[in-house]
Amino acid sequence: MRAGETAGAAFVTGASAGTGREIALALAAAGHDVAVLGRRVDALEELAVEIAAMGRRALVLGADVREADQLEAALDRLLDWSDGRIEVVVNAAGTTGPLSPPIGQYSLADFDSTVATNLRAPFIVMSRLLPVMRGAGRGRIVNIGGNHGMRGRAGRSSYSASKWGLRGLTRSAALEAGPDGVTVNYIAPGPIAIPRMKANWKAQAEAGGISEDEALRAYVANMGIPLGKPSEAEDIVAMVMYLVGPGGRNITGQELVIDGGATVL
């Protein structure tokens, strides 16, 4: 790619923090102009400055993905900004929802909110952008699920169900869009050492009167991770970049589990 040329427009939801933020930066580093979406506009503005410093265009889209009107309005702005061409879509916005109530104590409002974030939002995004990508005869979509979408887990009903549903959406979209040259894949991370998770581990250490190393070891043992450590955001980023790069051109409808071996099916 020559100086000043772009690898095309990319769109990342959940880019204000954690893994989505790192994915947006990696896409910019690979030459994409990047549109970034989340609710925290200040954090997105800071990210946009970093993207611009790499010589790429950035578009900040403030929206709550649970609100269809807000998401649709953001997608309108995205398509205006990109002249109706989108090369890469990464649905990374996600929430765990409440982490421990069993079914029976889990509120319908919490269930709906988790499903709206993790499953309905990627559907809205793909409803709008897949026809555009299929019309162009190319494009890559990566949905960030979770290894709880590969298995059940007590206390994670809405999270597991929403991430499991996203697998079905991914596979169906892959079958529909494949003949038009668009790939759609699913990445299933286990725990990722992003700032939110590190804060959790620190709180667990303080609550238990143990060191942060001990708290992390206990967490890893509890999660049954054979490789003995959580993933880093860069592990997920590397898979996204593979799927959207030359290596991913003939991969679609797949679920790539990155969890240190916690889920071996």
Ligand X SMILES: NC(=O)c1ccc[n+]([C@@H]2O[C@H](COP(=O)([O-])OP(=O)(O)OC[C@H]3O[C@@H](n4cnc5c(N)ncnc54)[C@H](OP(=O)(O)O)[C@@H]3O)[C@@H](O)[C@H]2O)c1
Residue 196 as a binder of ligand X (CB under 6 A): the answer is: yes
Residue 57 as a binder of ligand X (CB under 6 A): the answer is: no
Asked if 140 contacts 243 with a C-beta cutoff of 8 angstroms, the reply is yes
> In the complex with ligand X, which residue's Cβ is closer, 112 or 180?
112
Q: Which stretch binds ligand X (CB under 6 A): 13-21, 26-34, 104-112, 167-175?
A: 13-21
Active site residue 163: yes
Which entry of 159, 219, 229, 242 is annotated as an active-site residue? 159
Residue 10 as a binder of ligand X (CB under 6 A): the answer is: no
- Give the nearest distance from C-beta 66 to ligand X in angstroms: 5
Active site residue 159: yes
Residue 93 as a binder of ligand X (CB under 6 A): the answer is: yes
Q: Taking the CA of residue 86 as centre, how many other CA atoms within 13 Å lie in the half-sphere pointing to its CB?
A: 30
Residue from 59, 182, 194, 244 touching ligand X (CB under 6 A): that is: 194
Which entry of 163, 198, 202, 242 is annotated as an active-site residue? 163
Residue 117 as a binder of ligand X (CB under 6 A): the answer is: yes
Residue 20 as a binder of ligand X (CB under 6 A): the answer is: yes
Q: Which stretch binds ligand X (CB under 6 A): 8-16, 74-82, 218-226, 247-255?
A: 8-16
Q: Taking the CA of residue 113 as centre, how many other CA atoms within 13 Å lie in the half-sphere pointing to its CB?
A: 10
Residue 191 as a binder of ligand X (CB under 6 A): the answer is: yes
- Give the nearest distance from C-beta 240 to ligand X in angstroms: 11
Strand partners, 182: 139
Q: Which long-range contacts (CB under 8 A, 24 or more apart) does 126-131 make?
A: 126/89, 126/91, 126/169, 126/173, 126/184, 128/72, 128/75, 128/79, 129/11, 129/75, 129/86, 129/89, 130/173, 130/176, 130/177, 130/182, 130/184
Q: Which stretch binds ligand X (CB under 6 A): 1-9, 73-81, 185-193, 249-257?
A: 185-193
Burial group, residue 101, by CB count within 10 angstroms (0-12, 13-18, 19+): middle
Asked if 243 contacts 139 with a C-beta cutoff of 8 angstroms, the reply is no
Element spanning 58, H or E: strand 58-62
> In the complex with ligand X, which residue's Cβ is closer, 189 or 248?
189
What are the residues binding ligand X (CB under 6 A)? 14-20, 38-40, 64-66, 92-95, 117, 144, 146, 189, 191-192, 194, 196-197
Active-site residue list? 159, 163
